[in-house]
Structure 1
C-alpha cells in the first residue's frame, strides 16, 4: 500500500482524464485559454506525479486569440487503444451563451511527450467528448447541447461510432441517458459484462458529483445507481469541495481507482473561495455485491488521505526542460514568443516586449505560473524605462481579464499635475502603480515614486485571502498600499462562469507601438 495525499496535482489542474499504460499512469487536464495546451502528468504509483508534456498543436494555427476567459480547451479525454494514445477535446469559443460554439478535435501520438498528429475536427454534439475503444472499434461519447429557447443546454449523453481511419460517423447516434440534473463528462469502462457510464453531475461548482449508470449493451439502455459515487455537496466543512468529474481505472493488480477534480476552499467573510482552482485527486474504489463501484473508505465523500493498492515507485524523473519559457510557465492564448528568452547572451533573463493591455483576449505579453498552496510568495527583479503611461511592466497576480492584481513600473505626470496625458512634452516621473481589477472596474490602490535608473525587485505575499505587495528599497522590503482581497481571484467570485485558477507572473504592456521592453530576472514562486 502507498499513502496518497489529495490533491495529487495541486493548483489549477481540473477535469483529470486518467489512463494506465503498462506500469505508467497518465493524467490530462483542461487548459482553457492557457498554453501549454492540455498538460499531461505521469506517475508510477499514483502518489508522486511529474509533468510529462502537453499536446503541442492542440489549438489549430497555434492560437486561441479571441477566446473568452474560461473558454478554450475544456475537459480533454485521454485514452489508449493498445497501440497509441488518443486525445479528444473541444475548443469552446463562447462562454455564458446557449451555443458554446464548440469545435471538437482528435489527435493521436505514440508518446505523450512526442509528436501529436495534426488535430482533425470531427462531428460533435457538445463539449466534454470522450472515446471508448473496444475490439478495434472506436466510439465517441458527447454531451448533447440544445441551444434553443426553452431547450436543455445539457440534454443528455450521446454515443456515435467513428470510422477508425477517417473519424467520420458510422451509423446512428444513440441517446444513452438523460437526467433531471445536469450531467456531462461521460466516460465508459467495461467490467464483468457490464458497461459503466461514469458522469459528472450538477455542474462543476459546489454541487458537483460523480454518478454511475450501467448497461449490458454499449448503446444502452443505462440504469443509474441509487446515489452518487462521489460528492461533497452535502457537507461544506469538508476540506475537499467540488468533488466530481471522475474516471475509473484498473490497476495492474486488479484494484480500481477513481480520478476526479476537487478544490480546497478558503473560508472568508464572503463565503468559500477556491483561489487555487480545481485540482486533481484520486480515490480508492471497491465494488459491492451488486456490482456497483463504491468508495473503499465508505460513503461518498472524498478523502484527503487514501491508501492506494500500489507500491512506491520512483519516477525516474525527466530532466528539467532546456526551454527557459517552458513548463511551469504558462501564457495566454498563444505559446510564448521565443524572443522573450536569450539563454546564450543573457542566461536567466526574460525580456518581454509590451503588447496589448491586461484585459485583451488577443495579444497579452504575460508569463505566469500556477499558485499551488494557500500561502505563497512571488518575487522578481525588473528593469525598464517607461516613457509614457501607455507603457508598463511588473508583477501580477492573475485570474483572468476581469480579476487581477498588478504592481507595475510605469510613467506618471509630475507630482501635483493631473492626468493630462501629454507625456510627449517631457518631464514626468517613474512610479510603481498598484492596481486591482474586478468586475466593477480597475482601481489604482497606490502610487510610489522610484528611481528610473535602477532595477527594482518587486514581490507579493499571499496568505489565505490576503495579498500584500512590496518592493525592495535599500535592502528592505517596503509595502506598497494596503493588503488586497486575493479571494476575488477565485472560481467563486462574481456572477460569471470561472474555471481556471490563480497564477503569479510577469507582464509588459505597450499600447502605442509595441516597442517598449522590460527585462526580468530572478523570478521565484514559493508555495507552502
Structure 2
C-alpha cells in the first residue's frame, strides 16, 4: 500500500464509472462535446492510470455537430459481463429550458480496445444511464427521469426498466424507484447487489445529488428488492464537501464503487479544486478516489471516518509522477494525432485537420465559437501552471481568416492569440477574448493588433501561472516577447463557462485553431505544440 494525493485523473475527467476485470481496473469518464467520445483509463494498482481508448470514434456512434457547449456525452457507465464490455452513454442535444433531448445508447466490445459495436438506442427519457447485470442473468437499465412539466425542478427520480439484449431493446414497465433527498437534483444512478452479514442479498443504489457545484454529494440507499422501496444510508450522503468549504477537494459527488481482488473497497468520484478568492475550478471536474469499508450494519462508509473526501488516500500501488511533470512535445511526425488531443463535435476529422508532411495542418472552417464545424485541436490543462508554445505558418488575406494558439473552455469562454490580416491584406497578430462577463458573448480584443511581415513562420506561446495568463510571440530567429496584458486565466473555468457551476461541465484546454469565414478553407500549418508543466506557488494541492 502507498499513499497518493488526489485526484487520480487530473484535469477534465468527470463522472467516473469504474469497472474491474480480474486484476485490471477501468474508469470511463464524460467527454461532453469533445470527440472522440468517452475517455477510458486503465490501471493495475488504482494509482497509475493510462488512457487506453476513446470508444465512440465514428459517425454511426456519435455525431455532436450542433450540440451546445457542455452537451454531448454525459456520464457513461462501463460494466463487464458475459465476456464483454458494456458501455452506456448519453448524447445530449439540448441543455437549457424545459427539454433536454438526451438520447441514451449502448455499445459493446469483446475487449477494451474494441472493436466497439454500433449503438443500440435505449430511450430519451433522461440522462446519466447505467446498466446493472443481476445474478439471474437479467439486465436492468437505470437513469434519471426528466419531467418537463415540473416547476421549479425537473428531476423526477430514478427510473428502472428491464433490458432484453436478444431483442436489443428495453422491455416491460418503467418504475420510479427513488426520488432522492431534500438535497434534490437526483441523477447519476448505479445499482449493485451484495449479500449482507446474514447472507441475504441487498440491492444498493448510489446516486448523485445537489447539482454539479459546491452542494454536490453521493447519496446511498438500499432495498431487499431491486425495484424498492429504498431506505437511506444513516449519513444520507457518503461522500460530500458541501459542509466543509475549506476542504481542498470540493464539488465532490457522482461516484461509483469497486472491490479489489483482496477484498478492499474504493469509491471513485468527481471533484474540483478551486483556486482564487472566487473559487474557480480551472482544471474542471476531476476524478478522485476514497477508500471505503463495509461495516456490520451492511452499509458502505468512507474508511477514514467521515463523509468528507480525503486529499491523501492509501491504494495498492505507488504512483509514478515522472510523466505527469515532464514536458510534452508533440511534433506531429508520426502520422497519427497523439492520444492527449481531441477536437470538437465532428466525426469527420479529415475535414478539419490532417497530419501530412510532418505537421498538423488545420483546415479553416467556422469560427472558434461554432457549435458545428470548427478546426480546433487541443489537449487538457492538467496543471495549475504551465507553458505552451507552437510555430505557425499561415497566410491570411483578410480579417476573416485567423489561426493561432488558444486557452479554451467554450464558445463564450476562451483566450486566443491569432495570426490574421488587416483588410488591406497585411498580416498582424491579435488577441481575441470571450468571457462570460462580456455582454452577449461578443469578443473583446485585449492585445494587438501588432503588424508583422507578410512572409515567414511565427512562434506563439502562452504562460499560465495560477490565475495569470500572458501571451508571447516571436518572428523567425528572434526571442519571444509579450503581447497584450496579463489576462485572468481563472476565467477559463466551469464557474465562467456561461452557465456558472451548475451548467458548465468540461474543463480548460490548450491547443491550436483555424478559421476561414470566407469559406475558402485556407490552411494553417503547425510544426509542433509543447506543453510544459510548471511547479508554482499556486500548486498547493498539485498531485
Q: Does 1:225 align with 2:239?
A: no
Distance 1:514 1:49 in 2: 42
> How far 1:125 moved relative to its partner?
2.3
Judging changes above 3 Å, is the alpha-carbon distance between structure 1 residues 230 and 339 closer, same or farther for their aligned structure 2 residues? closer
The 1:149–1:295 alpha-carbon spacing in structure 2 relative to 1, beyond 3 Å, is closer
Encode CA deviations 1:362-402: one digit per residue, 9 max, x unaligned: 11000000000100111000011111111011001100000
> Given the alignment of the two structures, is residue 328 of structure 1 paired with residue 366 of structure 2, yes or no?
no
> How many Å separate the matches in 2 of 1:244 and 1:58?
31
RMSD: 2.0
Distance change in 2, residues 1:23/1:262 (3 Å): same
Q: 1:341 aligns with which of 354, 359, 362?
A: 354
Query: Structure 2 residue aligned with 1:303, among 305, 310, 321?
Result: 310
Q: Contact between 1:57 and 1:119, CA under 8 Å: does it hold in 2?
A: no
**In structure 2, distance between residues paired with 1:118 and 1:381:** 39
Q: Secondary structure at the match of 2:496?
A: coil
Pick one of 196, 204, 217 that aligns with 2:212. 204
1:363 aligns with 373
Q: Does 1:482 align with 2:485?
A: yes
1:104-123 pair list within 5 angstroms: 104-123=104-123
Structure 1 contact 57–118 (Cα < 8 Å) conserved: no
The Cα offsets for residues 68-111 of structure 1, whole Å up to 9 and x where unpaired, read as 00010100110111411001111111112221011110110011
Q: 1:385 aligns with which of 395, 417, 427?
A: 395
Deviation at 1:151, TM superposition (A): 6.6
Maintained 8 Å contact 1:57/1:116: no
What is the CA distance between 1:168 and its match in structure 2? 2.2
The answer for unaligned runs of 5 or more in structure 1 is 413-422
1:30-72 Cα shifts (integer Å, max 9, x gaps): 0101012111100000000001101134753652110000010
Q: Secondary structure at the match of 1:267?
A: coil
2:14 and 2:529 map into 1 onto residues whose CA distance is 26
CA contact (8 A) 2:4 2:319 kept: no
Match among 268, 271, 275 for residue 266 of structure 1: 275
Consecutive unaligned residues of structure 2, counting only runs of 5 or more, are 196-200, 324-329, 535-543
Deviation at 1:152, TM superposition (A): 3.8
Q: Report the alpha carbon displacement of residue 299 of structure 1 after superposing the two structures with TM.
A: 0.5
The alignment of Structure 1 onto Structure 2 pairs a total of residues equal to 506
For the pair 1:434 / 2:431, whether they are aligned, the reply is: yes
Which residue of 2 is the match for residue 280 of structure 1? 287
1:429 deviation in Å? 2.0
**Any conservation in 2 of the 1:342–1:350 contact (CA below 8 Å)?**
yes
What is the match of residue 75 of structure 1?
75
Superposition pairs of residues 45-64 of structure 1, within 5 angstroms: 45-57=45-57, 60=60, 62-64=62-64
In structure 2, distance between residues paired with 1:514 and 1:234 = 55
Normalising by structure 2, we get a TM-score of 0.90
Mapped partners of 1:508, 1:394: distance in 2: 7
Distance 1:339 1:272, change over 3 A: closer
Correspondence 1:191 to 2:204: no
CA contact (8 A) 1:210 1:229 kept: yes
Give the Å deviation of 1:452.
1.9
Three-state SS of the structure 1 residue aligned to 2:490 is helix
Cα gap change, 1:311 to 1:453, in 2 (>3 Å): closer
Aligned counterpart, 2:526: 520
* Aligned counterparts, 1:434-473, within 5 A: 434-439=431-436, 440=438, 441-447=442-448, 448-473=450-475
Mapped partners of 1:205, 1:62: distance in 2:
28
SS at match of 2:4: strand
Pair 1:353 & 2:356 matched: no
Provide the rounded CA distance (Å) in 2 between the counterparts of 1:303 and 1:239: 9
Alpha-carbon separation, structure 1, partners of 2:58 and 2:504: 22
How does the TM-score come out when normalised to structure 1?
0.92
From 229, 239, 248, give the equivalent of 1:239: 248
Query: What is the deviation of 1:275?
Result: 1.0
